Amino acid sequence: MKKAFTIVELIMVIGIIGILMGIVTTAASSSVKMSRGRRADALCKLVQAGLAVYNAQEGEWPINLENKSSKNQDGTNGSTESLQYELTGSEVRDCVKALVEKTRQNNPVMDISGLFVSRSQGERNSGEAYGLDFMSAIRGTRKSAKKMKLAEMYFGYPESSHGWFRRFKIVYAIGSDSLVVEKQKDDN
């Protein structure tokens, strides 16, 4: 009698390998999701620290916020101790662009190499919700030698679930005259 594997033994080995691959894939995907979440948090802290350094050096914020502090959200004058104003997408973009420009003028307010950028505003339904690192964007990539200019860039972070580009949310606390950088609400 020849020594060989039976079909049942082969099926069992293939089944066991399949189960192990499922376990490894699940663990790998959850670690990728966690690392994207950590990167998003780190980028928010990086931009917030850059804004604080900019304010300390210049004595003002990268964009004019005086008109925001004189009125409440409902448009009336009143107490501004706990009032907050969320910056629009273009104001957020202008803030981060000012930090990048300041850093590129040999006055580093933050490390811009790790920023996450996109050519579009990052709306998922646009089909262009992909981002890349700042350094890859200004140098070009293997797939596309086209380099991005600063005027084309939108700044944000990778969404934790799929890695899509998401814009920062920056909130101006009027009473304390501070800017807080956060992730968008519908992201984990």
pLDDT digits (tens, 9 = 90+) for 40-84: 999 999 999 999 999 998 888 888 877 665 554 455 445 555 688
Q: What digits encode the pLDDT tens for the residues 19-39?
A: 999 999 888 888 888 998 899
Instruction: Assign 3-state DSSP to the chain and report helix, strand, coil percentages, each to 5.
Output: 45, 15, 40
Residues of the chain above pLDDT 90, percent: 17
Compute, in degrees rounded to 10, the torsion defined by CA atoms 53, 180, 169, 138: 10
The model's pTM is 0.74
Q: Which pLDDT band holds residue 136 (cuts at 50, 70, 90)? A: confident
Average pLDDT across the chain, whole number: 81
Q: Match 């005086």 to its residue by tokens.
A: 66
Give strand ranges (E) for the chain.
84-86, 116-118, 132-133, 154-158, 165-167, 169-173, 178-182
* pLDDT at 122 (0 to 100): 59
* Beta strand pairing call for 169-173 and 178-182: antiparallel
Q: What digits encode the pLDDT tens for the residues 88-116?
A: 888 888 989 999 888 888 878 888 888 88
